[in-house]
């Protein structure tokens, strides 16, 4: 029995079928699991391992390399403060310190109510809008301490839930097709190790 929901497992199986080798879906599947659970639980990693055909240890070992994949629970809202060069020159560290005081936790920590995690981020590629802040990877603006207070109040009151889904929900648009071109061109060309098998139906290995 899978621990992740049937829907996530079906989506995951389908995604895994979109790659010549299933393992390629490992990171996209970690995102799907985080969308459901907010982080990557042990059980989710077992499910992912089964879907892509590796061991749970390999999933953990891979996931731990990536900043966006959390193997411990984080807050519903992860506030990422870019402090890299352009944002630092616009006062990012002062803003981050203000956030730490406001929420009573340091960068890397989560508030006791589980609502907020603060992160010191690297450049988020919005450097013309510095200091740049993202909440759950959604750009919320170049903030000063006042607008940060307002943002936190808004999030606490639950006012921005449509715009900013809970942590882990990354891409809300699903791929609508499998690989319609594959059958024609590529299928015959690859050697035995090809695992082009895919599509919604046959991807459920291990679920």
Partner 1 sequence: MITAAAPIVTARLSAYRDSHTLERYLATGGYDALRKALSMTPEAVHSEVNTASLLGRGGAGFPAGRKWGMKRPGPTSYLVINGDESEPATFKDHLLIERDPHQVIEGTIIAAYAIGAAAAFIYCRGEFALGLERLTQACNEAYDYGALGANIFGTGFSLDLVIHPGAGAYICGEETALIESLEGKRGFPRIKPPYFPAAIGLYGEPTIVNNVETMSNLPWIVLNGGAAFAGLGVGSSTGTRLFALSGRVRRPGWYELEMSKTTFRDLIFDDRLGAGVAGGGELKAFIPGGVSAPWFGPEHLDLGLDQDAVGKAGSMLGSGSVVVMDDTTCAVRAAWRITRFFHRESCGQCTPCREGSGWLEKVLVRIEAGEGREEDLDLLVDACDNIAPELGWPPQQTTICVLGPSIPSSIVSGIRMFRDEFLAHVKDGGCPFPPDRLASGAAKGARL
Number of helices and strands (H, E) in the chain?
8, 4
User: Minimum distance between the CB of residue 137 and ligand FES, rounded to whole angstroms?
Assistant: 13
* 155, burial (CB in 10 Å: exposed 0-12, middle 13-18, buried 19+): buried
Using the rule CB under 8 A, which residue among 31, 43, 71, 102 binds partner 1?
A: 31
100 contact choice in ligand FES, partner 1, none (CB below 5 to 8 Å, kind-dependent): partner 1
Q: Which of 175, 197, 200, 202 binds partner 1 (CB under 8 A)?
A: 175
CA pair distance 4, 48, nearest whole angstrom: 9
CB 102 within 8 A of CB 149: yes
Q: Could you say whether residue 62 binds partner 1 (CB under 8 A)?
A: yes
Q: Which of 15, 50, 63, 132 binds ligand FES (CB under 6 A)?
A: 132
Give the CA angle between residues 195, 201, 206 to the nearest 5°.
Answer: 65
Enclosing H/E stretch for 78: strand 77-82
Binding residues for ligand FES, rule: CB under 6 A, are 82, 84-87, 123-127, 130, 132
Binding residues for partner 1, rule: CB under 8 A, are 18-21, 23-28, 30-31, 52, 54, 61-63, 65-69, 80, 83-86, 88-89, 93-94, 96-97, 100, 106-107, 120, 122-130, 134, 136-139, 170-177, 179-186, 189-190, 193
């Amino acid at each position: 029995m899978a621990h992740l929901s049937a829907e996530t497992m079906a989506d995951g199986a389908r995604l895994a079928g979109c790659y010549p080798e299933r393992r390629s879906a490992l990171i996209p599947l970690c995102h799907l699991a985080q969308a459901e659970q907010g982080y990557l639980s042990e059980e989710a990693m077992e499910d992912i391992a089964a879907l892509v055909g590796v061991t749970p240890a390999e999933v953990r070992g891979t996931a731990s390399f990536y900043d966006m994949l959390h193997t411990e629970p984080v807050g519903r809202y992860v506030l990422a403060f870019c402090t890299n060069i352009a944002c630092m020159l616009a006062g990012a560290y002062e803003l981050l310190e203000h956030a730490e005081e406001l929420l009573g936790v340091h960068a890397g920590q989560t508030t006791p109510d589980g609502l907020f995690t603060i992160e010191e981020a690297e450049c988020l590629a919005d450097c013309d809008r510095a200091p740049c802040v993202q909440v759950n990877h959604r750009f919320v603006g170049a903030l000063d301490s006042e607008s940060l207070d307002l943002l936190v109040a808004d999030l606490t009151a639950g006012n921005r839930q449509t715009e900013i889904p809970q942590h882990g929900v990354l891409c809300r648009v699903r791929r609508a097709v499998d690989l319609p071109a594959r059958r024609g061109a590529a299928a015959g060309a690859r050697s035995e190790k090809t695992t082009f098998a895919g599509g919604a139906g046959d991807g459920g290995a291990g679920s």
